[in-house]
């Protein structure tokens, strides 16, 4: 038989786990819907990576094909934030050339035009963004190159790391558990 203190503790832990499970399901739903919307709009998933800062802080980054040979990098954080950036992909870490930066600016401007449609489609699926933050204007100074070696690049069939699995994993000795 359990003491009253033990029962209270177990009930409290159960409540915490239920809240965490609800958050996981919500983030999974949002990520899945986001992926489907981008696919409908002609973005193709190219690759992804998942990183863990610690047991409680992690993110998933997905690269989608975009226009002008550029990619849209979509990051889903464990806190529920989503960010989208434009860049190019290479097999090395480097700064973009002037020509690449100019092409990226045009894609950044196109992404800004796409955002209202993305938000509208999310709203149709019951997902309403609480806050939108524009970090930088479209300019050559924020152009970037993503190192393709950092991503699990998709070869034939579309597979992406489900958010629910990421949320319960953490990095230990370079191996996902």
In this predicted structure, what is the pLDDT of residue 154?
A: 63
Three-class SS of residue 132?
Answer: coil
**Among candidates 144, 51, 48, 161, which has minimal Cα distance to 90?**
144
Does the structure show a pLDDT above 70 at 6? Answer: yes
The H or E element that residue 119 is part of is: helix 98-124
Residue 155 has pLDDT above 60, yes or no: no
Does the pTM surpass 0.85? The reply is no
CA distances to 22, 24, 96 from 27, in Å = 9, 5, 33
Question: Worst-scoring range by mean pLDDT, 39-53, 57-71, 157-171?
Answer: 157-171
């Amino acid at each position: 038989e359990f003491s009253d203190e033990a029962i209270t503790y177990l009930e409290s832990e159960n409540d915490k786990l239920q809240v965490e499970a609800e958050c996981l399901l919500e983030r999974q739903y949002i990520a899945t819907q986001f992926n489907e919307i981008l696919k409908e709009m002609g973005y193709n998933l190219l690759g992804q990576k998942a990183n863990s800062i610690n047991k409680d802080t992690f993110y998933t980054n997905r690269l989608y094909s975009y226009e002008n040979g550029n990619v849209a990098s979509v990051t889903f954080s464990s806190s529920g934030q989503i960010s989208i950036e434009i860049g190019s992909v290479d097999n090395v870490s480097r700064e973009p050339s002037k020509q690449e930066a100019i092409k990226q600016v045009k894609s950044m401007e196109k992404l800004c035009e796409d955002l209202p449609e993305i938000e509208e489609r999310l709203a149709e699926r019951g997902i309403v963004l609480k806050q939108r933050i524009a970090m930088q204007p479209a300019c050559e100074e924020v152009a970037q190159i993503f190192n393709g070696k950092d991503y699990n690049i998709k070869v034939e069939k579309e597979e992406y790391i489900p958010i629910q699995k990421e949320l319960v994993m953490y990095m230990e000795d370079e191996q996902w558990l």
